[in-house]
Amino acid sequence: MAEHFEIRVRGFLGPLMRMALRGLRFRTMPAHSTILGRLSDRDLERLLTSLDDSGVEVVCLSRVR
């Protein structure tokens, strides 16, 4: 079952990373970016692996109601 998640990462996500994460929404702040979207457990695992492989530091992961 897919649930809504908010993933905060350190720094700015560039256009290539955003294109790779199509279907998700983004918010950019001065020190971090936030990825928002509805993800299954499998999709969340893939996303976190992709971010890690790209050197993106995940600061916070929250399930959003």
CATH of the domain at 29: 3.30.70
Place of tokens 């959003």: 64
Q: Is the pLDDT of residue 20 over 90?
A: no
Mean pLDDT of 51-59: 94
Residue 49, token pair as written in the block: 């692996």
Place of tokens 């998700």: 24
b/e map 28-48, b = 16+ CB within 10 Å = eeeebbbbebebeeeebeebb
pLDDT tens per residue across span 24-53? 999 988 899 999 999 999 999 999 999 999
What is the pTM for the complete model shown? 0.88
Number of domains comprising the chain: 1
Range of the domain at 22: 3-64
